[in-house]
Structure 1
Amino acid sequence: MSSARKEAARLVEGTTASAGTTSVAKAAPSAGAGTSAETRTGTGKGVYVGKVKITTRLRNGRYELTDPTRGGLSTVDFGNRDNREESSGKRFTDSDNVWGNGTVSSRQSAAVDAYFAAGKTWDYYKKAFGRKGMRGNGRGPSTIVHYGKGVAGAEHDNDLWFGDGKDDKNPLTELDIVAHEFTHGVTFSTAGFAGTSESNGLNEATCDIFGTMVEFNADIAADTPDYLIGEKVNLHGDGKPMRYMDKPSKDGRSPDHWKPGLDRLDDAHHAAGVANHFFYLLAEGSGKKVINGVAYDSPTYDGSKVTGIGREKAAKIWYKALTTQFTSATDYRNARTGTLKAAAALYGKTSSAYKTVQKAWTAVNVK
């Protein structure tokens, strides 16, 4: 197995295309980040983000979905092919710097979603943590859209890959999904979660957590910030989100709290439920509430009441733990210890933040 495939991570179960081991860097060679003189501001209309401004590059009289201000981040059309070794992606270019029409009738629309979302994810990590890019090396990833036919999935494999959904009408390019896949690049270069269902569950939860944080920080009207994962892509055809952070069991598969046998779950996205629930409780607290018009009702394992410390503090604690405490073998008990150490380092052992970390883990039965 190549190093590229070892770091591959899918967001969802679903129909997948055959996968080679080649990064899009081979399929669509980069022309470099570009210079400030080439930087332009265009407008795009995505399927999910609506009408937005985007930073593009003017090169040889054509505009490209390449961002010189974000490490050369770019978006590529894979042409609904599925062989990464034999097929070539095509960099999106345009004559007037106006991209997409908000529907899947334009191949540019999903590209706008992916490109805009990757840029917002870059901005979040840079502003919140001083991190430039997935690996902190100042390089932006390529986002590859229109991957395969009937592919209801998204994947990180050096770059970020997105299918168009089972019916090729619901691209997997929603903001929190793109940020989720971007974050797999962050976890790969930090904790490197691997091995057990709990460790892999923490990997997926980390990506859901920061996907959600990016959504809240982007704060766009077309995609209301919430604690629902992939609620717009209609993955299962029932109009429901993929996952719920306030009460993970609402998806019918994920546990709300830790229990014996969690390490035997066959899907890490379900094992992520415990950490997703912990983060929601830490940030927002337990019980009923309405946030941005979305109703939540978060239970606790022991019936206790948890008062949240806010999203920003909760995210700082999780990121601190991710980058200084978590390892490839971290399980839920280790995650409790790691986040407590992170909270102590950031806010002190006598702080309300530290005490709330304790309460939130106990509330999901991690002791």
Structure 2
Amino acid sequence: AAVAIPTTAASAAPGARDAAIAQARANVTRNAGVFGFGSGQDLVLKDVVLDADGTSHVRFDRTFQGLPVVGGDLVVHQDARGRLKDSTRAAAHDAAVRSTVPKVPAQHGAADALSAAPGIKDAVSTPELVVWAADGTPRLAWRTTVEGTGEHGQPAGKIVVTDATTGEQIEALDAEHQASGTGNSEYTGTITLDTTPVSGGYTLTDPVRGHVTKDAGNLSASSLKASSGTAFTSATNVWGDGKKFSSNRATAAVDAHANTAWTYDYYKNVHGRSGIKNDGKGATVFVHVGTNWDNAQWSDTCFCMMTGDGNGSTDPEQVDLDTMGHEMTHGVTSATANLRYSGESGGLNESTSDIFGTMVEWYANNPVDTGDYLFSDQSTPPWLRRFDKPSLDGRSADCWSSSVGKLDVHYSSGVGNHWFYLASEGSGTKTINGVTYTSPTCNNSTVAGIGNQKVAKIWYRALTVYMTSTTTYKGARAASLNAARDLYGSGSAEYNAVAAAWSAVSVN
């Protein structure tokens, strides 16, 4: 039987969302004391989440006499019959103020906002009258947004809140929930980075996903711990110079920081996994590890991602998309099946990292580093390994044999990589994103692919549900068929494609 997919707002029964909203409004009115909902207030719908069991969670912002209430938002939690189960609300309980007529004119708030946003060129200030109750005590205030450009032409903004009765500044914050920095990367062009404002500038700490990117100062990987290194900071929130073998130490950090975020987002949005250990915690990411260290690695002990500077001549910094995704996937494997790093299980461990590292690249859909089946083609040109015919590197195995387990795990991984390509794209010659692949089969069969997204979902379930520390290639076939059965049904096209691809690499 196929696995039931949890119901979302988009796929719920027609009318369920509207019914939940209407019930929530009624529940707030009936329980006005609980929500602090009184005369002059109104509810502004913000979001609705519908669970598979019919439970609903309806989120509202509030207004008072038409003014937005800052800190007045609330969530109504209801059971499948629309009955109030629980409530969540921000700091404000009572949103009422004595008067909505300001004693301090808008121009005062605008001037205060402009003075609080130095360094923003061509600044334009837009004041808005609000009820500010983020500390629980409602008061009339001017919320002024300053927008303009920063020193390097990047968008810059500030939000300044001033008391509309006394003129006192209440708070000043960046115009976004987290700062958006501009990264000039080595491998993916000019990109946006999630950073954190600190005194005097910004730091490469991702407030959404929790990871922090640091300069290892060329310490060796063996001597690093999470507290090692130096945080990257910038006064302008513009990072790196976009050059390979760069003397600007923040350039490698741009790629490492962004690609860690892409890896986190891939696992979260595609597989529902929140971080390496599925506990929502972010890692410490180090760049400039060692001296001419042409490698990258994941450390479970440190809970750190470590990247080297390349060999100084042909291989630049090891911070490209699929390399970062590969190494962080070792952490996911360790937290799940924990495939032993020797024999066939070791080959499967490496193949799993190649597969999901490649899928991070496809997920990112970056126009500079497009999705392909060439592993580490950016940092180890023209590529380190390839999926369609792994033996083209001169060492990797295309097909399973009884001696595969005696190979180095980076070469026995070829069997799993070849299976993934055949299951995804099929056999024969094919051009994808400008790259031509020619994939043979070991049994002279013709295989039709089902697309890498389906195969990756099957492989993730196989890894996290059915594989163990000693799984062999034969065991991986059984695990992935169990996963395909769970997701798509026994005898489905997906199930049959997985089986055919394994047979095509001599795993029966």
Question: With structure 2 as the length reference, what TM-score do the two structures score?
Answer: 0.63
RMSD: 1.7
Secondary structure (helix, strand or coil) at the match of 1:68 reads coil
Higher relative contact order (CA 8 A, sep 6+): 1
Secondary structure (helix, strand or coil) at the match of 1:146 reads strand
Which one has the largest radius of gyration? 2
1:102 aligns with 2:247: no
Identify the match of residue 462 of structure 2 among 308, 312, 321: 321
Size of the aligned set, in residue pairs, is: 327
Identify the match of residue 143 of structure 1 among 280, 285, 298: 285
Using the TM superposition, give the Cα deviation of residue 36 of structure 1 relative to its aligned residue in structure 2, in angstroms: 11
Identify the match of residue 206 of structure 1 among 345, 352, 357: 352
- Listed as ranges, the matches of 1:52-131 within 5 Å are 52-70=191-209, 72-82=210-220, 84=223, 88-103=228-243, 104-131=246-273
Q: Find the counterpart in structure 1 of residue 395 from structure 2.
A: 253
Letter in 2 for 1:143: V
Identify the match of residue 301 of structure 1 among 442, 446, 457: 442
Using the TM superposition, give the Cα deviation of residue 195 of structure 1 relative to its aligned residue in structure 2, in angstroms: 5.2
Using the TM superposition, give the Cα deviation of residue 165 of structure 1 relative to its aligned residue in structure 2, in angstroms: 1.0
Identify the match of residue 173 of structure 1 among 308, 319, 334: 319
Secondary structure (helix, strand or coil) at the match of 1:253 reads coil
More helix by share: 1
Q: Find the counterpart in structure 2 of residue 32 from structure 1.
A: none
**Residues 255 and 271, structure 1, Cα contact 8 Å, conserved in 2:** yes
Letter in 1 for 2:311: K
**Residues 196 and 329, structure 1, Cα contact 8 Å, conserved in 2:** no
- The 1-side partners of 2:337 and 2:279 are apart by 16
Q: Find the counterpart in structure 1 of residue 127 from structure 2.
A: none
**Residues 341 and 347, structure 2, Cα contact 8 Å, conserved in 1:** no
- Extract unaligned runs of 5+ from structure 2: 1-173
- The 1-side partners of 2:224 and 2:451 are apart by 45
Q: Find the counterpart in structure 1 of residue 131 from structure 2.
A: none
Q: Find the counterpart in structure 2 of residue 159 from structure 1.
A: 304
More strand by share: 2
Using the TM superposition, give the Cα deviation of residue 255 of structure 1 relative to its aligned residue in structure 2, in angstroms: 0.6
- The 2-side partners of 1:93 and 1:213 are apart by 31
- The 2-side partners of 1:152 and 1:269 are apart by 16
Runs of 4+ deviating beyond 6 Å: 35-38
Secondary structure (helix, strand or coil) at the match of 1:115 reads helix
Secondary structure (helix, strand or coil) at the match of 1:272 reads helix
Q: Find the counterpart in structure 2 of residue 26 from structure 1.
A: none
Among the aligned pairs, what percent are the same residue?
46
Letter in 2 for 1:263: G
Letter in 1 for 2:391: S
Using the TM superposition, give the Cα deviation of residue 61 of structure 1 relative to its aligned residue in structure 2, in angstroms: 2.6
- The 1-side partners of 2:201 and 2:341 are apart by 46
- The 2-side partners of 1:275 and 1:97 are apart by 42
Q: Find the counterpart in structure 2 of residue 7 from structure 1.
A: none
**Residues 154 and 163, structure 1, Cα contact 8 Å, conserved in 2:** yes
Identify the match of residue 275 of structure 2 among 126, 133, 145: 133
Q: Find the counterpart in structure 2 of residue 364 from structure 1.
A: 505
Using the TM superposition, give the Cα deviation of residue 40 of structure 1 relative to its aligned residue in structure 2, in angstroms: 0.5
Q: List per-residue Cα deviations over 1:65-99 (Å, max 9, x = no partner).
A: 111111x1111101112262599400111110000
**Residues 284 and 308, structure 1, Cα contact 8 Å, conserved in 2:** yes
**Residues 179 and 194, structure 2, Cα contact 8 Å, conserved in 1:** yes
1:215 aligns with 2:361: yes
Using the TM superposition, give the Cα deviation of residue 38 of structure 1 relative to its aligned residue in structure 2, in angstroms: 6.6
Q: Find the counterpart in structure 1 of residue 425 from structure 2.
A: 284
Identify the match of residue 182 of structure 2 among 43, 49, 53: 43
Q: Find the counterpart in structure 1 of residue 333 from structure 2.
A: 187
- The 2-side partners of 1:198 and 1:85 are apart by 30
1:197 aligns with 2:352: no
- The 2-side partners of 1:155 and 1:125 are apart by 19
Q: 160-169 vs 188-197, which deviates more?
A: 160-169
- Extract unaligned runs of 5+ from structure 1: 1-34
**Residues 64 and 94, structure 1, Cα contact 8 Å, conserved in 2:** yes
Q: Find the counterpart in structure 1 of residue 88 from structure 2.
A: none
Letter in 2 for 1:218: A
- The 1-side partners of 2:444 and 2:384 are apart by 26
Letter in 2 for 1:93: T
Secondary structure (helix, strand or coil) at the match of 2:223 reads coil
C-alpha change, 1:85 and 1:351, in structure 2 (3 Å) is closer
